[in-house]
Amino acid sequence: MVFLLVSAFIGVILFEVPSLIRNKHWRELIVFSIFLSIAFVMALLATIGVKLPSPAKGVDYFVEDILHLNYQ
Amino acid sequence: MKLEKGEISSSQLMLLVGSFLQGGLLSLSFAYAISRQDTWLAVLAALFIGLLFALVYIALANRFPGKTLMQINDLIFGPFLGKLVSIQYLYLFISSLSVYLWFIGDFVLTYLMPETPIILIMIMFSLLCAYAVRQGIEVIARICFIAIIVTSLVILITFALLIKDMKYTYFLPIFEVPIGELIQSTHIIMHVSFSEVLVFLMVIPYMNKPKQTKKSVLLGMLIGGLGLLTATIRNIAALGPLSAIVTSPSLESVRLIDIGKVITRLEVLVAMAQILLLFIITSVLYYAVVLGIAQITKLRSYKPLVLPIGIFAITLSLISYESSMQLRYSTRYITPIFTVWFYFILPLLSLLVAKLRKLPK
């Protein structure tokens, strides 16, 4: 599973990066690598079985238990 | 400096809005359990309130012609506070994107391919969307013509074939549902379909005739709303009290069609049409997220961001939701209240601040 994930990310890098370097789009390269590394860390943690906190449940908790606003 | 080179015409914008709204047909199933036989009234009310709020969004777009939502925020609130507001909108768009990815995976899993892992469906679907987004808004807008004709035909044909099974007494008693639940149901329908017209503030600047924005957006909303209304009336008249119980009333009502044991099991037609529309919704949201991030960070091209954001959205939807009951509960009772801030308060606030500051100078 981890091998598949890493090869998928290497595929994305090989697909995007060469044309960025050829055109000297350094700013694009920086933003691309920041988002790709965030996505890689999240996908890797989810793949090896670490329980990440769910943002949707966080929003539910915030609205329901802190603001006490819900239909019921 | 323009990030998007393509242009769309006013009729293409109209069809895009229409198919975007008609794609909410499957998500309307969240509202049936709340306002049972009066759901069609809730759809009608949501259409009128949605048209009212679309006027606010269009006023915002007409005040700053040629600027997208992120650039408008920068102009209204200044560079620093504007970025803060833009990040809130981006959060809204990316969370709706992940909800739609989960929704399509769950739908295909439940009705069409029960043994497939959900992540595989999401990956195949978002690869298709990533290809469409890389080609630009012009390509997404062109497919809408086919999509809206196919889905309108499916709705009309299934309506006609179901007429002999319909009982109009199922609509009675009207207004029996308490007014609070009717308001809640209207709010849910606004949340899942009509308010999301906000995302078109990222698309409207690329229209070639800015003067016709109002007409085409409002007409598109009417087309989508009428499609939703027809389908809701079909579902309630065919299913009756059952429509509050089943998971997806649109599919279950079409399953009743049985003409001489030859024309049966037509629900796969509805599923195909709705998947086509969900593809358009997901592509537009995906496009808005990618374009918004590219404009906040001042890039020259948004294309390199498409694949990382897609992977991010898939992972977000996988960690956010565990079961369809969780999505159902939070869409019925919690998320509509949370998104009031984004859909109603922030745009009104932006328009007010723009009026007070007498922008644009």
CB within 8 Å: A20 and B304: yes
Chain A residues touching B131 at Cβ < 8 A: none
- Domain extent listing, chain A: 2-66
Classify residue B76: in a domain, yes or no: yes
Give the tens place of pLDDT for each residue, B175-228: 888 888 999 999 999 999 899 999 999 889 888 888 888 999 999 999 999 999
CATH at B84: 1.20.1740.10
Q: Tell me the C-alpha distance between B309 and B325, whole Å.
A: 26
For residue B259, list its beta bridge partners: B263
User: What is the model's pLDDT at position B124?
Assistant: 93
Structural domain includes residue B3:
no
Share of chain B above pLDDT 70, in %: 99
Q: Mind listing the pLDDT tens digit for each residue in A15-43?
A: 988 988 998 888 889 999 999 999 999 99
Look at residue B358 and tell me if it is in a domain. Answer: no
Range of the domain at B95: 11-350
User: Distance of alpha carbon B91 from its chain centroid, rounded?
Assistant: 16
For strands B263-264 and B258-259, give the pairing: antiparallel
Summarised one tens digit per residue, pLDDT across range B333-348 is 999 999 999 999 999 9
Q: Let me know if residue B360 belongs to a domain.
A: no
pLDDT score at B183: 92
Quick one: average pLDDT of B252-266?
86
Residues facing B264 on adjacent strands: B258
pLDDT at B211: 86
Residues B90 and B109: beta-carbon distance below 8 Å: no
Q: Residue B1 pLDDT more than 80?
A: no
Q: Is residue B316 part of a domain?
A: yes
Total domain count, chain B: 1
- Does some domain include residue B22? yes
- Yes or no, beta carbons of B184 and A39 under 8 Å apart: no
CA pair distance B342, B1, nearest whole angstrom: 28
User: Which residues 4-63 in chain A show a CB within 8 A of chain B?
Assistant: 12, 15-16, 20, 25, 27-29, 31-32, 35-36, 38-40, 42-43, 46, 52-57, 59-60, 62-63
> Among B206, B242, B195, which residue's Cα sits nearest to residue B12?
B206
Q: How far is B322 from chain A (nearest CA, A)?
A: 9
Q: What is the pLDDT of residue B95?
A: 92
Assigned domain for B157 exists: yes
pLDDT at B263: 84
Whether the CA torsion B112, B118, B121, B122 is positive or negative: it is positive
Domain assignment of residue B356, yes or no: no
Q: What is the mean pLDDT of residues B261-274?
A: 87
